[in-house]
Amino acid sequence: MKQKKLSLILALIVGSALILGAAYWWKKQHSAASDAKDGAEPAAEAVSALVKTQPIGQQAMESNLIAYGDVVSAKINSLSFPQAGQLTLLSVLPGQQVHRGETLAILTSDPNAQTAYVQALTAANFARAELKREEELFALKLLTQTQLDTAKKQLQDAESMLASQKKLGGETEAAKILAPVDGVVTALVAAQGDRLAAGATVVQVGETNTLRIALGIEPAQRRMVHAGMKVILSTVEDAGTTINAKINEVQNVVDPKTQLVSAIVLLPASAAPTLVAGMHVQATIHLGQQQAWLVPRQAVLSDEKGTFIFQVADGKAHRVEVAKVNESATHFGIDGEIDPKLPVVVLGNYELEDDMAVRESGK
């Protein structure tokens, strides 16, 4: 009887252990499945973005290009003294209007240059007198032809040295820089009292009869701009006052500072009395009628690689490089390798990356 009771107790213990083990196993499996399900949903959300798209269409547009630039003198004259010395007078300031023949600066010549000139003058006078004496001796047949030729050569060398010292300013104690044209002082390179080397630039004068405007355009837009195209200019401060001009030249080099290509406008000052050197201007370049893809402004993005849009194909966003050919307050006209069958993303594009999964709103 006692043996039977002990067997019953053991059976109950084993059965309880089996039940508890099964319950624990079922709970662990259920918890793992639930965690996997919870983790899968955020992962799916993390790789997709909600966007709004619309079809894209092409149409003929009056194509304009907006560009900005600065007004400068068409020609800058860099003025200097041919001799070394001390700048004793500088009578102009940057931006000052000057007239042809007006004194801009005075230089006191270097004493060494004056001494060298006096020595060259003395040498030339001596060689001249010596040649005259030897010509007289040659006439009396007291001198050979070789000796006479040597005297002539010595005079030529002495006169050449004298001319060189004269060009270097040794002939005068002081020299002046005169304005070569009517213009404006664009820069002062030296200051009054400075000691200058021969040929060192002192002042720069820009001619004011012709103005030069370098308009910066994107390298991708260069192929759309040509010499002869009409341009409407206005100052940034007064957009209501406009000036008609044309493109004179489109350069073939990218400015390393601005990363832009310059389109040059040359303008007679008489045709633009409101413009002066140093002004910042806005230009509307008329490109003519052009086929362009019309998209809302917010659909077009830019980064360090350039300008682009996103089109959607098979649930994924694809980056497409474009160039702006026209713009209005609400839309851009663009050009590029655009697929007309694919919609363009107009909202939600700021968070997109190339080949990223998207969910289109309303679908």
Q: Which of 206, 224, 259 is the last residue of a domain?
A: 206
**342 is a domain residue:** yes
What is d(CA 242, CA 218) in angstroms, rounded to the nearest whole number?
23
* The pLDDT of residue 20 is above 70: no
Global confidence as pTM:
0.51
Average pLDDT, rounded, for the chain: 83
Domain that includes residue 193, residue range: 80-206
From the list 270, 336, 257, 251, the residue with the least C-alpha distance to 56 is 336
Average pLDDT over residues 281-289: 88
Query: What's the sign of the alpha-carbon dihedral 218, 290, 63, 288?
Result: positive
pLDDT digits (tens, 9 = 90+) for 130-171: 888 888 887 888 878 888 888 888 888 888 887 877 776 666
CATH number of the CATH domain containing 112: 2.40.50.100
**C-beta of residue 165 within 8 angstroms of C-beta of residue 178:** no
**7 is a domain residue:** no
Q: How confident is the model at residue 30 (pLDDT cuts 50, 70, 90)?
A: low
Q: How many domains does the chain have?
A: 2
Q: What is the pLDDT of residue 121?
A: 78
**C-beta of residue 264 within 8 angstroms of C-beta of residue 229:** no
Q: How confident is the model at residue 313 (pLDDT cuts 50, 70, 90)?
A: very high
* The pLDDT of residue 290 is above 90: no
Average pLDDT over residues 109-128: 77
Q: Which of 206, 237, 253 is the last residue of a domain?
A: 206
In total, the chain counts a number of residues equal to 363
User: Do 105 and 192 fall within a single domain?
Assistant: yes
pLDDT digits (tens, 9 = 90+) for 174-191: 788 999 988 889 899 999
